[in-house]
Structures are given as C-alpha cells and as structure tokens.
Structure 1
Amino acid sequence: MPKKGKTAVIFDVGRVLYDWDPRVLYERLIGDGRALDAFLRDVVTIDWHFQHDAGRDFADTSAELAALYPQHAALIAAWGPRFNESIGAGIAGMHEIVAELDEAGVPLFAITNFSHEFWPPFRAREARLFDRFRDIVVSGEEKMVKPDAAIYRLALARFGLAAEDAVFVDDNAANVAAAQALGIESVLFTDAAQFRARLVELELPIAA
C-alpha cells in the first residue's frame, strides 16, 4: 500500500526541473568535436565543478585549473559568467506539475547542489517558476552538499517539516537513498509521467 499523509513536495533542480549540460555552453566555444570531448572530459570535469556546489568561489577554482591548463585559461574563465548557458529548457512536464501542486496549495520546496555565485542569476532568470517555492536550500550557500545527511536535516528544519510529511524527488540515486534513510519518501526521477503517477499514488492533489 502507498504511504499516505504527504503534505509537501521537495524538488531537486538540475535534471529534474531543468536540463543541465556543460556541453551546451562549450559547443558554442569549441568548434572541433574531439577537442570539445577532451576539454569536457579532462579539464572542466564534474568533480571540478562539484567544488562550486560545495561552496568554493569560482575565482579560486578557475585560477587553480587555469594554472594546470594555461592553454585553456580563456575557456575555463567562461564557465562562471556564462554558467546560465549550460542550463537548458525545463524538463518536459515538470513545470506543469509544479504549477498544479502550487495552485492546489501544496507547499513546495527545493534542495539543490548549486554554486552560491551561480544560483542568484539563475534564480532571477527563472523567477516565474521559483516564485512558487516557499524556500530553497542551496548547497553552495550552506557549504554542505547532497547526499550528506546534514543538508537534508537543515532543509527539514528550515522548511518546518517532519521527514514523514514530505516527498522528495532527485535524479541521483545516492541523493534519493540518503533522503530515504532519514525517513523522507523519495522518488528517483526518470520523467514527469512517472513522477506524476507517484504523486497520485501518494494522494497529493494532482491530476492523473
């Protein structure tokens, strides 16, 4: 039987509400496909970027990386000021789910691994969606990241929720498992239809 009594929904942002792919930015800057692949694989890696989500300043991380790859200094420097260009369109069907839940009075929140520097311009760009959220915990501002249990505990306290009150959705299995371990009903995101179906099972006020 599905669990009942959920009153709030907590969203991840990247690859749940919006597509994110650094290739979208750098394919505009690097014309050769093999050079692009190598740059994304070896230079501006996901592990390097994760430092921003953890709260490090881009000025520091970019200087360190440019010292290792001086031939790519200009490309590395583009990451920060042009970060919004790596964030694509909304994930199909998800903004409609946010709107339906909000209009039904369901409290909406988010926990996102995101740079404290890159978040404000993106939040401003997408104000129409994010204005529907009551609060958003940003990892770079808190200097703690998913799947660390501490960020979920902080979020629940700030949101005024007990773990059993909430449904959490994230595209990363480790993040989902960490939330589940704290007693938060958690959904591994694949697409909007699957997530909508789960919300219906949990008896949240949303159309099937």
Structure 2
Amino acid sequence: MSNESPVTDVIFDFCGVLLDWRCRACLEGHFPPEVVDRICADDDPHGFFRYEDRMDAGEDVADIMPDVVREQGEYIAGIFRYYVDHYGDALPRMLPGMEQLLHDLKSAGYGVWGLTNWSHETIHIAFDKFPQLDELLEDTVVSGIEKLHKPNADIYELALSRFGLKPESSVFLDDTVKNVTGAQAVGMHAFRFTDAEQARRDLASLGMEF
C-alpha cells in the first residue's frame, strides 16, 4: 500500500463491475427470439428492469408478481417468474480481470468490499456461483437486505459505517453514473467502471500501488 495515496479501501458494485449480468443470457433458447429482444430492449417495454429495481429495494417477488400480471399479462409474467427462478443463468461469469484485481489489491494491503443493489431473495446465487467473492470481499452491503438503495446517500453511509471506513479514504467503482455521483456526494472517491484495465488506471490516479 502506498503511503502517498489517501485511499485505503475499495468498494465494488457487483453487476456490471465484478459480475457479467445479462438478462438475455437467461432467456435465450427458452423463449422466442422476438420476445427476448423486446424484454431486453433499452426502453424496458415489459418492465423487467423496473420490477427488478423493486426487488433490489427490498420487495419480495411474491408481492411484485400481481403487478407484473396486471401490467404485462400472464405470458410475460410467466417469463419474469422464469427469469427470477433461473437467475444464475443471467450471471455467466466474473468480468475479465476483476478477480485478479481483487487479489492484487488485497495482496497490496488494501481493503476490498462490496456494495450492490440486489434482491435479498437472489443475492445468495452470486456467492453460490462465484465463491471467490466471499473469499475476497471482506463484507458486502446488499440493498434488498437493508431496504436502502443506491444512489441514495443512506446506503453509502451505512456501508462506510459498517465497514469502519472514512469516505475520504474510500473509493467506489460502479458502472452506473448516478451511483458514482451518489458516492461522490457523501465524500467518497468514485469512478464509473468500464473494464478492469480502466479501473486499474483510475485507482492508480489516486496514488494507489498494487
């Protein structure tokens, strides 16, 4: 760990940073291609990402499903239920270079932590499928368990308190701009994640050596 850097700890988002999350990977081959294309379209016409946000905020799937049926119809609701029940298929791999980055940071003496918007009902799948997360991360704050949600300040403040960190000595990596801005608003260093090599450059820009 460099004495020149103010940063002692790195906090990682999960999906889009540590893990490759793709709804399409779960649905392809099980439902008609045109239906999968509509579900996975950027404008979210069938609300999958909107319903998943509700799960991430702490709601139970059982409480959300009546809204899915009413708003999308039985057929799409059945696909959403399949998606939730086969969520591991939407997580095909850790993103390239990220397991090594966690190893390198820990070896250099930095703390590594997790902070994710994720359902309390499905978060176990990430740790079951990728046990190295549990081995490498010292602790993880999960929105659906806490019923707090990025980018609101309270979830960052909870993570800092639970991990015993100061915002000025912590850096957060997330693939979503509003979540990066949320971390910066509570005084943390933060970068938008694009890939492992860019993350290494961003962390090095703070004087970190690993």
- The answer to whether TM tops 0.5 is yes
SS at match of 1:78: helix
1:175 positional shift: 0.5
1:44 positional shift: 4.5
Match among 36, 47, 60 for residue 57 of structure 1: 60
1:122 positional shift: 1.8
Aligned to 2:100: 96
Equivalence map 1:161-176=2 (5 Å): 161-176=165-180
Matched, 1:193 2:194: no
1:140 positional shift: 0.1
Instruction: Kindly indicate whether the alpha-carbon contact (under 8 Å) linking 1:66 and 1:76 is maintained by their aligned counterparts in 2.
Output: no
Instruction: Kindly indicate whether the alpha-carbon contact (under 8 Å) linking 2:48 and 2:80 is maintained by their aligned counterparts in 1.
Output: no
| Structure 2 letter corresponding to 1:80 | V
Equivalence map 1:128-139=2 (5 Å): 128-139=132-143
Aligned to 2:84: 80
Equivalence map 1:174-185=2 (5 Å): 174-185=178-189
Aligned mates of 1:157, 1:123 — CA distance in 2: 23
Aligned to 1:205: 209
Matched, 1:37 2:41: no
SS at match of 2:84: coil
Aligned mates of 2:177, 2:156 — CA distance in 1: 15
Aligned mates of 1:187, 1:71 — CA distance in 2: 40
Q: Name stretches of at least 5 consecutive residues in structure 2 with no aligned partner.
A: none
Q: Name stretches of at least 5 consecutive residues in structure 1 with no aligned partner.
A: none
Aligned to 2:74: 70
Aligned mates of 2:77, 2:184 — CA distance in 1: 41
- Pairwise CA RMSD of aligned residues? 1.6
1:77 positional shift: 1.7
Aligned mates of 1:198, 1:74 — CA distance in 2: 42
Match among 118, 124, 139 for residue 114 of structure 1: 118
Aligned mates of 2:137, 2:36 — CA distance in 1: 36
Deviations 1:12-37 (A, max 9, x none): 11000111111111113113x22222
Aligned to 1:7: 8
Deviations 1:111-165 (A, max 9, x none): 1000000001221221123321111000000001100000000000001001011
Following superposition, which runs of at least 4 residues in structure 1 exceed 6 angstroms of deviation?
none
Q: Matched residues, percent identical? A: 33
What is the TM-score with the length of structure 2 in the denominator? 0.90
- Alignment coverage as a number of residue pairs: 203
SS at match of 1:109: strand
